[in-house]
Amino acid sequence: MNVMKPLAVAVLAAITSTGWAAGSTATTNQTGNGNTATTSQTSVNDSVATVDQNGDNNTADVSQANSANMMTADVDTTGNDNIATISQDDSWFATATIEQDGDANNADISQVAISDYTSASIQQIGGTTTSQASIDQNAAYDSGATIVQSASTDAEASITQTNGFNLQATVTQNNLIGSVATVTQTNDNNTATVLQDDSWFATATVDQSGSDNTADISQVAISDGATATILQSGDNNIGTVSQDFSWLSDALIDQSGTNGMASVIQDESTESSATVMQSGDSNIAEVDQGLGDRNVATITQSDAFNYGRVEQSGSDNVGSVTQSGTNNVGDIDQWGGNGEATILQSNTGNDAYINQTAPAEYGIASIEQSGEGNVADILQTGLGTGVDPNTATILQSSDFNAASISQHGGAGNNASITQM
């Protein structure tokens, strides 16, 4: 007769009372037309769910919940009109992966309700219509989400991460037309990266609320009509937008908080527009638009120790910097023709510099400073053409200010300095 030791009895009783199914594995393989695969694992321990589909009109649905240890779900589909869904609820150390290689792919991953240390990945290749990929992570700490879409006619990617810490989100879209990428992150230490390359109608939007956020958007190559928007609210935010060879590019960075840094670079982008707005202390904003005609750049910074810079190359450029606080530096360099630049600074100890130096330029430059101890400098070297030639205006209020205007190379220049 076998007699169980007290410890073994206790362990068996614990497993029975919790109802966990230890080491569960579910595997589904389908080849053919119109297949449907459904896998459900609840109150399991170290569970694995795998679905492989090769055929037409396939649908895969994997649901995992209430796991004491890590669970893994993988859906691999090759075929047409595929739909894959993975749901992981209250699952620690969960991993979800969807790979679709076919037409009209649709993938959705949801990791919610204390799904800490989770990983979600979606890869889609070769969609003939609109490929859709969505990842939702809620109350998932130290989790990451990745979406890769390639060789699709149209693609939409969305990542939403809320109520978590140390979250990372990455979206990559290549060789696409009409692509849309959206990343939303809430709470601290978020990181988001979006890359769209050779995407004709690419649109990328990152919305982060919280502190220590980092967002990076890069739209390069033939990304015509590309639009990039980064909105961050909180402390220590860093936002970067780079758009190269994007003919109708538009970039907006809005950061509210302290110690934020924003940089927008649009190269060879005709009719580009960049707007940066920062509210808080120690903000740094730089906008560089090169080799693009009719660029418009606006930087608005409030509070102290802000640094703003606008550099534009091309024709018909418009640059504007508005700063409120002390010890700010505003710098606008326009190397193209017919530029217009305006710097507005309030409070004390500010520096403002405007350089319009293209040979054929007849720019308009204006600096207005209120407060003590400010410095303003305008340099214009254009020839001066049209009804209105080069015009430079400096207005300074209060005492101990310094102003300088230099105009070279053109006839009919107009310079005005007012200190009161």
Q: pTM of this prediction? A: 0.85
Q: How far apart are CA 141 and CA 111, in angstroms?
A: 11
Structure tokens given for 296: 């418009």
Q: What is the pLDDT of residue 417?
A: 96
Contact 155, 149 (CB under 8 A): yes
Specify the residue for token string 């326009």.
334
Q: What is the pLDDT of residues 273-294, one digit of tens each?
A: 999 998 888 889 999 987 878 8
String of b and e for 232-254 (b: at least 16 CB within 10 Å)? bbbbbbbbbbbbbbbbbbbbbbb
Q: What is the pLDDT of residue 8?
A: 35
Residue spans of the chain under pLDDT 50: 1-20
Q: How far apart are CA 104 and CA 156, in angstroms?
A: 11
Q: Which helix or strand (DSSP H or E) is residue 309 part of?
A: strand 307-312
DSSP codes of every residue in 286-305: EEEEES-TT-EEEEEEESSS
Q: What is the pLDDT of residue 376?
A: 97
Q: How far apart are CA 195 and CA 173, in angstroms?
A: 6
Q: What is the pLDDT of residue 360?
A: 58
Short-list 305, 320, 420, CA closest to 371: 420
Q: How far apart are CA 370 and CA 346, in angstroms?
A: 5
Which residues contact residue 360 at a Cβ distance below 8 angstroms, ignoring those fewer than 6 apart? 337, 382, 383, 385
Which residues of 57-105 form beta strands (DSSP E)? 59-67, 72-80, 83-91, 95-103
What single letter denotes the amino acid at residue 95? T
- Half-sphere exposure for 386 (CA within 13 Å, toward CB): 14
Q: What is the pLDDT of residue 58?
A: 92
String of b and e for 132-156 (b: at least 16 CB within 10 Å)? bbbbbbbbbbebbbbbbbbebbbbb
Structure tokens given for 114: 């204390």
Q: What is the pLDDT of residue 357?
A: 82
328 C-beta neighbours (distance < 10 Å), count = 28
Residue 306 forms beta bridges with which residues?
none
Q: What is the pLDDT of residue 9?
A: 35
Q: How far apart are CA 35 and CA 83, in angstroms?
A: 11
Q: How far apart are CA 5 and CA 260, in angstroms?
A: 62
Contact 28, 37 (CB under 8 A): yes
**If you count DSSP H runs as helices and E runs as strands, how many of each does the chain have, helices first?**
1, 36
DSSP codes of every residue in 198-262: S-TT-EEEEEEESSS-EEEEEEESS-TT-EEEEEEESSS-EEEEEEES-TT-EEEEEEESSS-EE
